[in-house]
Structure 1
């Protein structure tokens, strides 16, 4: 089986990380093209990743599609092409599958283009910026009669989360009643506003709750306690969300994106016969000079690097089989619906019902 030829849209921190991952650690795939509005950044990344011997062969692919790419405003950087227009990258005959790591506002158009060209796609969250456009994406995919979209809720691929899911599904602890979640970042850019904490950070725990409970979220309340004084942009940070499941179970989530200490993600499941906690970071616990402790990661790449590797490898393997192996477009739509209600709750200071289409009516 030939390697899957991957194009990546958006090469900021996340996209560049995925590009390095595909080149260095993923088997059965090779990076052939990138697209980003910041052309110098895209060219520098393509050049740096084209140097190792492991990328050998991409030059031939670029040459084979050279005349087409010349018409779409692309340039070659040592074998990995830089295509200025992301829609041209999606439509390029030399690209088999796409990773979307662009800002959320661009996702709807780019996902629709992937469906139009029948290109399998791994889309970083959010699926889109709102419930309505997410539902349109789900409906468009359904009309094709084939699932092409996988959403980047990578916590499902983290070994600790996977082990927790397996334990809860086994029934060993009885029914799961509560989830307690903590999601903290060391810092975020000043442009990261209050609603983005819901849409871009809390969204992970929204998917975790749906996945671990195997249930939909019926109501969300987002509380804004006294904000940190260490952020000048007026963001309501931290936030505390209460997710009420359709079954009556409850999940709470603390999201604090300017925690200053480091990156920390924890989850405790409380069940009828016991509890289970992950994300304690106790792999390396030191005691010395009358003190004990350990290191707190700087960002998500240290905590979830393995999860991203597993996610992308399984996506590649499934794509080669003509399948997907992870969160679907429906999962992305459900998360968007919850976050839309969450932003309304944050703005209005009250619980908000989650409005969603019936899955059976949309997907049959």
Structure 2
């Protein structure tokens, strides 16, 4: 079978990482073009990897030599680019968020459904992380009884000053939204986002850290600490508490050293190190599925559900109140799928 010819839109930190991944690690795929508003950045990457640059992202999507697209552009550009991918019938791996709000995300879901085939996979890479996958398997087995609680920690070393308070919800907390839905197999019905005393180490007035509580349709509860200017490094942990026991992931599996009167291990600088294997697995499975005419991971509906929760989360952050999550019934939007 011939290689899947891939174009990447957005070659910042994530897009450039995906470009290297496609070129050097992904089988059955070939990077052919990149696009980015920063033409110098796009050209430097394209020259190094031996691919074309296409200034207009919509032109990249329409290009006859591009079979599939990775969208790693800022979230505000996703809606237009996703609709273009659907119009041209091209499989797309879209980095989170699907779009910036629930309403536009639902329009994407509806447009894809009208095509009669699934083309959009959302980049919730934690589902592909071996530790998360093992936790999901354990919870589904029933060995711990019913899962009652989920505790999450999500910390970044630093983020740019332009990373505003609501972006912490839409771009960071969104991962825990998807993880919670996936591990429980239930929708989140209410969210409360608390803003404790913010760190003094950011000058832009960002409400950081944040603490969120999710209430699920089955009565379970999940909590999340998100701290994006933690200074130490990138840290993601998750503990599931069941009727018969608990399970924790993200404690670190590197070498523990004892030397010079100290003991400890390394904390990764950013998400690319912590979830490198998850990204590798995600992209490979997306490529393999796209060549079969399928997706193999979080769907457009999953992206919409996460956007709906985050839309409510931003309102909760602003008002300080619990906010009910407003979602369309799945069976109404996707009649061929059970609600």
Structure 2: how far apart are the matches of 1:322 and 1:303?
A: 30
Structure 2: how far apart are the matches of 1:189 and 1:38?
A: 17
Structure 2: how far apart are the matches of 1:32 and 1:290?
A: 52
Structure 2: how far apart are the matches of 1:249 and 1:255?
A: 20
CA contact (8 A) 2:254 2:266 kept: no
Normalising by structure 2, what TM-score? 0.98
The alignment partner of 2:275 has SS state of helix
Aligned length: 335
Structure 2: how far apart are the matches of 1:8 and 1:332?
A: 19
Deviation at 1:289, TM superposition (A): 2.8
Aligned partner of 1:25 in structure 2 is 25
Structure 2: how far apart are the matches of 1:134 and 1:187?
A: 28
Structure 2: how far apart are the matches of 1:154 and 1:284?
A: 24
Deviation at 1:292, TM superposition (A): 1.3
Q: 1:221-240 residue pairs with structure 2 within 5 A?
A: 221-240=192-211
Deviation at 1:237, TM superposition (A): 0.1
Gaps of 5+ in 2: none
The one-character-per-residue Cα deviations of 1:258-295 (angstroms, maximum 9, x if unpaired) are: 00000000000000000000000143111223321111
Q: 1:1-364 residue pairs with structure 2 within 5 A?
A: 1-50=1-50, 80-364=51-335
What is the CA RMSD across the aligned residues, in angstroms?
A: 0.5
Structure 1: how far apart are the matches of 2:183 and 2:255?
A: 27
The one-character-per-residue Cα deviations of 1:277-334 (angstroms, maximum 9, x if unpaired) are: 0000143111223321111100011100000000000000000111000000000000
The alignment partner of 1:127 has SS state of coil
Aligned partner of 1:74 in structure 2 is none
CA contact (8 A) 2:144 2:245 kept: yes
Structure 1: how far apart are the matches of 2:165 and 2:217?
A: 26
The one-character-per-residue Cα deviations of 1:190-212 (angstroms, maximum 9, x if unpaired) are: 00000000000000000000000
Structure 2: how far apart are the matches of 1:92 and 1:293?
A: 51
Structure 2: how far apart are the matches of 1:172 and 1:290?
A: 41
Structure 2: how far apart are the matches of 1:16 and 1:153?
A: 17
